[in-house]
Structure 1
Amino acid sequence: MSLEENRLDLSRIVFIGRTFEEYMAMFGLSEGELNGKTVLDCPGGACAFTARANALGAQAVSADIAYGYAARALKEKGLEDIGHAMDQLEKAQAGFKWDYFASIEELRAHRSRALRECTSDMEVYPDRYVPAVLPVLPFEDSRFDLTLSAHFLFMYGDRLDYDFHLKSLRELLRVTRNELRIYPLVGLSGERYAQMDDLLNHIREDGCTAEEVQVPYEFQKGTGRMLRIIKG
């Protein structure tokens, strides 16, 4: 199915993202690992990673279905979504660890900063933000040294079937030269993706090595691990 056929009304897109600092913690990265590397963030959403990574010497690109819309429209939608998410979080604070963020207001400030950095960069460097929808990406084989994928695969394991997960994982690996990292490994309920072992067996049969790695970031309870896949 084409991107245009998959295109969602803006009202159905939730445009919220994480800060660069959150990305570094979620994926256990150091700034030195980014310098001179080609990096893909998919799906990138309203995250600040691509903007900051490029400023640090990486050649970073984000891919997301939302990028079919103008930066100004996405900023307005993102501000609405942040407000709604913070209201919902008031009722669900027990499901989160409040050490990285001390309060909902601090979380709101981080989400708002990520949105500003992302949409400002998008206005200046639109080519960094590529409209795309998994499980098909518009990039050539081995285009990126490192691919990062946050808060999509596994997070929606109850809505996206196993075949979608496998096809998406293989597509992310197709465009990756060296390494793919995915965070988190649990669904919205906090439970580890039920078919993770089957998925990893398929990936190992494809010649990759995979390991689950503890990382210094856990906001939603149970999300303190990432998947690191190295291509053979």
Structure 2
Amino acid sequence: MNSNFYRLVSVVVLGLVIPATVFAQADSTEPSLGDVARALRKNKAAPAAAAAPARPVIDNENFDQVVNDVEKKRLDGKLRFSLDSSGNDFQVSSTDVTCSLSFSSKATSLLSNAYAPQELPKSELLKLDGPASIDGDALEVSVHNGGTWNVKEITVGFTVVRRDETRSAQYGSARLVPAAETTKLTSEKRSDLTVLYHLKGSAAPSSTTTFHETLGLTLTDDQDWHWAIVAAKGSPPARSNPAQ
């Protein structure tokens, strides 16, 4: 009976020990939490080290080489300009951007007026005529364009005649003149005031246009003045294309 009892106890002990051993062996194959954490830290550190390479230390031995490398990179980053053989394509390039421009000498201006004003020839200038008047502080010139040019601007010489301020006395219809004035051997005249005004407008051929400009002068009713058109600018008549 004792042998049967020991045999039963042995079977029970073996039944308890064998599953524990198998469980321990199966459990030993799985990594621990510490191993998992260390593996994650290692994986994060590897890309960071690859993305940020170590910078070289600048010292007396490699200082000249570093300066040369920086100068080379600066020269490589400069703008480069080039023009093709036809002279119509202009290119600008650098390490970061490339730009190409094309142009034609036959293209008209983007402005509303394709012609820049030109000086009228003397023959056309003589065909500009008309009266002028002063309205308050403004000079009004009515110009008749008898030529073929389209006038855009006229230059007017405005002259104010200076008064003779020689002292004299007026008694009724008689005027007393100093003796010194009657003994002059030469005729002397004072200079007059002449101002140039640039009046802008548009006077087509065979039309009359009034140009206005502020004088900036104060004139009395009895003060004498003169004016003249001394220059003008405009555009010549369009050239007609010959028949093909």
TM-score range, shorter chain: under 0.3
The structure with higher relative contact order (CA 8 Å, sep 6+) is 1
TM-score calculated relative to the size of structure 1: 0.17
TM-score calculated relative to the size of structure 2: 0.16
Which structure's CA Rg is the greater one?
2
Greater strand share, structure number: 2
